[in-house]
């Protein structure tokens, strides 16, 4: 018989049985399809050697008038501007105290002489001689504890190197200077950041230099006091500069008895948000240590929900918004050493929104638009369906007058605005049940909103992306596309995605555009993960789907920075579509890509056949490896439900002309694996020498 050419349909199909998908691909990871043929994706490398604090869920690139390139980075703890590989903290301040409003107390009284750390168990109580609050270090173990109420103690035990230590084996016990900070009605939350200035030295170890720096709040005692852990003098950016360096704790002595003096000023940054979505209210709702143990969760605020930022540039300046919180403005002329300020604090600001779900700048007509914000007539009271827009070419003027173009409009369908996406012609607004098109009309109405479709769903604020005038988003158990009308997209991997999907963390779904390859990526958390660890791709050029495993929490397409940039849960940014390796480790690791076909029948499966030889068609274009190779496994079986009887693994290189197989069976399938660094592969049309076996 002549050689038979095997060509497979592009894309991965999981909605039908593997046997029914004959001639198609069944499974794969870190692959894509281009011109109908599969190939490995390109790799990634670290964008900067430095890390940032928190999990990033928002990226925004822009260029100043002088050509400086910036990248906004919004995490659940802070907002940074990245420039030249460094991260500059521009997180707004919510409160700066008057001098003397803050005082310190060192919770580091001398230990009682009869405390024996060699005991298997140490009881934390007044009788044991331990102070009410503090951090005990026993060799490589740290025990942080605090008295919450009465004799109830709340503690955290961890190894200095991150490991768990089960028992105490030394009498070398010292107490770390956990400082009790007193500030009436401080309004802070655990993990918030505060910078002190104007302090005086407490004693030998707790000096003014130790106090006058930025701290993250360790534990809230009550509305008037909280704990911080004293550390050696160092910028917080240096502590997290690379490799997640731990701060160096400062250990107090009995001389540290001062209170910091009467000139201490505390500058509190915005309350931090959560890195995990909370569902519901009541007892048990919330994350561990977020409030007193056993307390009920009340209605959620921006600090009690997943921290999501929206942002846009107004000229060379930056607008940022904490979802369900304030809108802030960073003036580029003031430099990266200054923080963003509340929109309402700008000189000449009139009737600005003070709370919103999202903010963007309409590029066509230069209006700032706030979604789900408070009305001009009732500041501070959020209307989740209200849209307000500023006067044209102004971030300050929001008062609706006959002499300007500021105004508002309210949507009628749904209970809240979830997200908005700007296309070339209009702004599409998604509520929790409907899609609206918002268009510029000009005076006197400025903007109008048209209901496009009802009974649509959406996963969250980050799940939609625009491609020209089209918008694609992930809904509840389906995918949608808007191209003049709304349609549910046929998806051959839908069950694979949504049957293994953590619906409690659906707000983390991130839609990402890779325009170079005509792809839309959705990063999402699998059922057993609290964080995005998988992706599903729709290739709108090839109109096919595929999926894989990469953990990313935010993404920005190529543009002014070059390659696409993505954020990972390890607190690094990565430059994607570069090289062919996983650059998150040192040295770089292989991508470990693979592709699996559905079974193929020869002669409709009526008779046994023998595959004698394989003539591979694999290209290794652009590979940096001296001897690139992939492994192709050919497997045979007799029935769709049967097990594979025999398989032959073949290492295929550029120089491989043919591979002897000698496989018998009614059905055959292929698997391609690549686990080498610096290898880029592309699979073409495989040819096989297939002969009838004569048996049925």
- What's the domain count of the chain? 3
- The reply to whether 240 and 196 lie within a common domain is yes
Residue, of 261 and 245, whose pLDDT is higher:
261
Q: Is residue 159 over pLDDT 70? A: no
- The reply to whether 127 and 261 lie within a common domain is yes
| Distance, CA of 185 to CA of 240 (rounded, Å) | 30
Label residue 15 exposed, middle or buried (CB < 10 Å: 0-12, 13-18, 19+): middle
- The reply to whether 176 and 255 lie within a common domain is yes
> In 3D, which of 624, 676, 622, 635 has the Cα closest to residue 652?
676
- What single DSSP character describes residue 515? G
Q: Could you report the per-residue pLDDT of 579-618, keeping only the tens digit for each?
A: 999 999 999 999 999 999 998 876 665 677 788 888 999 9
Mean pLDDT, residues 298-310: 71
- What are the angstrom distances between the C-alpha of 632 and each of 502, 656, 665, 667? 34, 12, 18, 16
**Residue 470, domain CATH:** 2.120.10.80
424 occurs within a structural domain: no
- The reply to whether 474 and 622 lie within a common domain is no
> In 3D, which of 229, 211, 210, 209 has the Cα closest to residue 219?
229
| Distance, CA of 614 to CA of 28 (rounded, Å) | 21
Q: Which of 269, 298, 331 is the last residue of a domain?
A: 269
Q: What is the mean pLDDT of the chain?
A: 86
Q: Which residues pair with 175 in a beta bridge?
A: 136
Structure tokens at 203: 């004693």
Residue, of 679 and 128, whose pLDDT is higher:
679
Q: Which of 547, 578, 609 is the last residue of a domain?
A: 578
Q: Could you report the per-residue pLDDT of 452-511, keeping only the tens digit for each?
A: 999 999 999 999 999 999 999 999 999 999 999 999 999 999 999 999 999 999 999 999
327 occurs within a structural domain: no
Residue 286 has a pLDDT of 47
Q: Is residue 687 over pLDDT 70? A: yes
Q: Which of 244, 269, 294 is the last residue of a domain?
A: 269
Is 523:512 a contact under the CB 8 Å cutoff? yes
| Distance, CA of 636 to CA of 614 (rounded, Å) | 14
> In 3D, which of 404, 437, 400, 419 has the Cα closest to residue 356?
419
Is 584:570 a contact under the CB 8 Å cutoff? yes
- The reply to whether 566 and 600 lie within a common domain is no
Q: Any idea which of 205-209, 530-534, 633-637 has the lowest mean pLDDT?
A: 633-637
Q: Is residue 260 over pLDDT 70? A: yes
Residue 250 has a pLDDT of 86
| Distance, CA of 443 to CA of 581 (rounded, Å) | 54
- The reply to whether 125 and 257 lie within a common domain is yes
- The reply to whether 608 and 503 lie within a common domain is no
Instruction: Kindly report the number of other CB atoms within 10 A of residue 268's CB atom.
Output: 20
Domain that holds residue 626: 4-40+592-692
316 occurs within a structural domain: no
Question: Residue 137: which pLDDT band, with cuts at 50, 70 and 90?
Answer: low
Residue 645 has a pLDDT of 76
366: left (phi over 0), alpha (psi -120 to 50) or beta: left
Mean pLDDT, residues 184-211: 95
**Residue 670, domain CATH:** 2.60.120
Q: Which residues pair with 141 in a beta bridge?
A: 138, 159
453 occurs within a structural domain: no
Question: Residue 161: which pLDDT band, with cuts at 50, 70 and 90?
Answer: very low
- The reply to whether 488 and 556 lie within a common domain is yes
- What single DSSP character describes residue 306? B
396 occurs within a structural domain: no
Q: Is residue 289 over pLDDT 70? A: no
Structure tokens at 276: 């995990």
- The reply to whether 514 and 604 lie within a common domain is no
Q: Any idea which of 166-175, 333-342, 398-407, 666-675 has the lowest mean pLDDT?
A: 166-175
Is 384:359 a contact under the CB 8 Å cutoff? no
309 occurs within a structural domain: no
Q: Is residue 221 over pLDDT 60? A: yes
508: left (phi over 0), alpha (psi -120 to 50) or beta: alpha
Residue 624 has a pLDDT of 93
Q: Which residues pair with 222 in a beta bridge?
A: 225
Q: Is residue 346 over pLDDT 50? A: yes
| Distance, CA of 150 to CA of 168 (rounded, Å) | 26
- The reply to whether 574 and 646 lie within a common domain is no
- The reply to whether 549 and 605 lie within a common domain is no
442 occurs within a structural domain: no
Label residue 123 exposed, middle or buried (CB < 10 Å: 0-12, 13-18, 19+): exposed
C-alpha of 492 from chain center: 26
- The reply to whether 560 and 622 lie within a common domain is no
Share of the chain above pLDDT 90, in %: 67
| Distance, CA of 638 to CA of 134 (rounded, Å) | 68
| Distance, CA of 245 to CA of 160 (rounded, Å) | 12
49 occurs within a structural domain: no
């Amino acid at each position: 018989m002549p050689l038979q050419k095997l060509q497979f349909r592009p894309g991965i199909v999981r909605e039908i049985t593997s046997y029914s998908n004959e001639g198609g691909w069944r499974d794969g990871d870190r692959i894509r399809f281009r011109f109908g043929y599969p190939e490995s994706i390109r790799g990634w490398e670290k964008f900067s050697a430095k890390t940032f604090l928190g999990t990033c869920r928002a990226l925004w690139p822009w260029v100043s008038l002088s050509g400086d390139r910036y990248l906004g980075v919004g995490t659940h703890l802070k907002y940074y501007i990245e420039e030249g590989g460094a991260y500059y903290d521009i997180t707004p301040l919510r409160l700066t105290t008057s001098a003397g409003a803050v005082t310190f107390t060192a919770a580091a009284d001398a230990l009682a002489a009869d405390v024996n750390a060699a005991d298997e168990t140490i009881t934390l109580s007044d009788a044991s001689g331990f102070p009410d609050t503090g951090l005990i270090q026993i060799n490589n173990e740290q025990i942080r504890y605090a008295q919450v109420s009465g004799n109830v103690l709340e503690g955290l035990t961890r190894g200095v190197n991150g490991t768990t230590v089960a028992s105490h084996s030394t009498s070398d016990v010292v107490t770390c200077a956990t400082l009790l900070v007193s500030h009436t009605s401080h309004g802070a939350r655990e993990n918030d950041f505060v910078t002190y200035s104007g302090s005086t030295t407490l004693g030998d170890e707790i000096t003014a230099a130790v106090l006058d720096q930025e701290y993250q709040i360790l534990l809230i005692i009550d509305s008037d006091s909280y704990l911080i852990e004293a550390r050696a003098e160092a910028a917080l950016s240096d502590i997290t500069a690379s490799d997640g360096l731990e701060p160096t704790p400062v250990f107090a002595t009995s001389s540290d008895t001062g209170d910091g003096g009467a000139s201490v000023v505390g500058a509190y940054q915005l309350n931090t948000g959560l890195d995990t979505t909370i569902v519901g209210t009541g007892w048990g709702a919330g994350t561990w240590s977020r409030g007193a143990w056993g307390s009920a969760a009340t209605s959620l605020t921006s600090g009690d929900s997943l921290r999501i930022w929206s942002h846009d540039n107004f000229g060379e300046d930056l607008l940022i918004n904490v979802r369900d919180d304030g809108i802030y403005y960073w003036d580029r002329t003031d430099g990266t050493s200054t923080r963003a300020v509340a929109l309402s604090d700008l000189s000449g600001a009139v009737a600005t929104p003070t709370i919103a779900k999202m903010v963007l700048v309409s590029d066509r007509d230069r209006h700032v638009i706030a979604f789900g914000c408070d009305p001009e007539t009732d500041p501070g009271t959020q209307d989740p369906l209200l849209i307000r827009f500023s006067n044209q070419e102004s971030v300050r003027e929001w008062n609706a007058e006959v002499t300007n173009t500021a105004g508002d409009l309210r949507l009628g369908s749904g209970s809240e605005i979830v997200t908005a996406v700007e296309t070339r012609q209009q702004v599409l607004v998604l509520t929790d049940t409907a899609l609206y098109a918002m268009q510029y009309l000009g005076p006197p109405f400025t903007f109008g909103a048209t209901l496009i479709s009802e009974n649509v769903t959406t996963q969250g604020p980050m799940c939609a992306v625009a491609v020209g005038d089209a918008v694609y988003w992930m809904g509840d158990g389906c995918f949608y596309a808007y191209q003049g009308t709304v349609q549910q997209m046929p998806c051959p991997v839908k069950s694979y995605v949504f049957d293994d999907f953590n619906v409690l963390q659906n707000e983390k779904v991130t839609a990402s555009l890779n325009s170079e390859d005509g792809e839309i990526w959705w990063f999402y958390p699998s059922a057993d993960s609290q964080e995005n660890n998988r992706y599903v791709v729709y290739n709108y050029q090839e109109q096919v789907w595929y999926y894989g495993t990469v953990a990313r929490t935010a993404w920005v397409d190529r543009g002014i920075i070059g390659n696409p940039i993505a954020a990972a849960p390890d607190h690094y940014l990565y430059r994607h579509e570069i090289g062919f390796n996983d650059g998150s480790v040192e040295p770089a690791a292989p991508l470990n890509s693979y592709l699996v076909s559905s079974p193929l029948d020869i002669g409709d499966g009526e008779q046994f056949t023998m595959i004698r030889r394989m003539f591979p068609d694999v290209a290794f274009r652009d590979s940096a490896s001296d001897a690139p190779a992939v492994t192709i496994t050919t497997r045979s079986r007799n029935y769709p439900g049967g097990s594979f009887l025999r398989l032959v693994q073949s290492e295929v290189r550029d120089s491989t002309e043919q591979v002897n197989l000698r496989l018998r069976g009614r059905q055959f399938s292929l698997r391609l694996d690549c686990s080498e660094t610096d290898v880029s592969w592309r699979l073409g049309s495989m040819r096989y020498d297939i002969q009838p076996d004569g048996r049925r």
